[in-house]
Amino acid sequence: MTLVTLRQALRQLEADGLLSQQPGRGTFVASPKATYRLDSLRGLAEDLRAQGRTVSTEILEQGMHRPPAWVATQLGPGRVLRLERLRLLAGRPAVHQLSWVRPPVGALLRTADLSDTSLYAAIAEHGVVVHRASEVLRPEVLTAPVAELLRRPEGTPVFVSDRITYGLDNQPVVVDRATILGSVMEVRTERAATGLSVQWTSSS
């Protein structure tokens, strides 16, 4: 194996999340993947921090907008808070997250600093209690412009999570779409007779 081939192989293994190259120290086997749990109502960053992960958040956009049609069917056609975030694990992009929050709480959070605060916690501070959530998780591939934000090529396999979170009145409060790098995170859940209900459906 030539030195050039070896370097290419190491770069690919690092891109796949299997190796970690640290300048001045060497090349190491990467830490186990972070886990995205399906049996929790906590926010994504809360889940990861509970696992001891170093999570940081970049706010890409935060303002009032008219939602796309599939969000408007849940939150209504009026202007809602659109919050776009990039989640980084140990400084590396791992998740692109779009959240839409219904009024009036969405308008109250328009200028809030949500870079280091759970969106659920911020909503609770305004008297809205999260009651339950429904979520669909499906495999997809990266497309522009999210591929550029996650620093991966278009066509990279990812998980896409669509979650609708409801308040005590059973009305949708938040609609989320998270694009998750499968090379960085794995999805895990635990099942019990009185716990999580899972359904498999075929897509047409």
Distance (Å) of CA 48 to CA 22, 148, 197: 22, 23, 23
Task: Summarize the confidence of residues 65-72 as an average pLDDT.
Answer: 95
Task: Summarize the confidence of residues 65-70 as an average pLDDT.
Answer: 95
Output the six-digit token pair for 126: 């305004």
Task: Summarize the confidence of residues 70-92 as an average pLDDT.
Answer: 93
Provide the mean pLDDT of the chain: 80
Residues 94-119: tens digit of each pLDDT: 999 999 999 999 999 999 999 888 88
Q: In what order do the strands lie in the sheet with 172-181?
A: 55-65, 80-89, 92-101, 172-181, 157-167, 130-141
Task: Summarize the confidence of residues 79-102 as an average pLDDT.
Answer: 93
What percent of the chain has a predicted confidence (pLDDT) above 70?
65
Predicted local confidence at residue 183, as pLDDT: 80
The domain ranges of the chain are 1-30, 33-188
Q: Where does the pLDDT of residue 67 fall: very low under 50, low under 70, confident under 90, or very high at 90 and above?
A: very high
| Other residues' Cβ atoms within 10 Å of the Cβ of residue 91 | 7
Nearest to 163 by CA among 100, 76, 108: 100
Distance of alpha carbon 190 from alpha carbon 117, whole angstroms: 27
Residues 6+ apart with CB under 8 A from 132: 41, 165, 166
pLDDT of 72 higher than 50? yes
Distance (Å) of CA 170 to CA 33, 132, 174: 34, 8, 12
pLDDT of 5 higher than 50? yes
Structure-token match 């696992």, residue found: 51
Query: Which bin fits 149, alpha (ψ -120 to 50), beta or left (φ > 0)?
Result: alpha
**Distance of alpha carbon 44 from the chain centroid:** 6
- Please state which CATH class domain 33-188 belongs to: alpha beta
Q: Where does the pLDDT of residue 30 fall: very low under 50, low under 70, confident under 90, or very high at 90 and above?
A: low
Output the six-digit token pair for 9: 């192989």
Predicted local confidence at residue 105, as pLDDT: 94
Residues 6+ apart with CB under 8 A from 98: 82, 83, 84, 85, 176, 177, 178
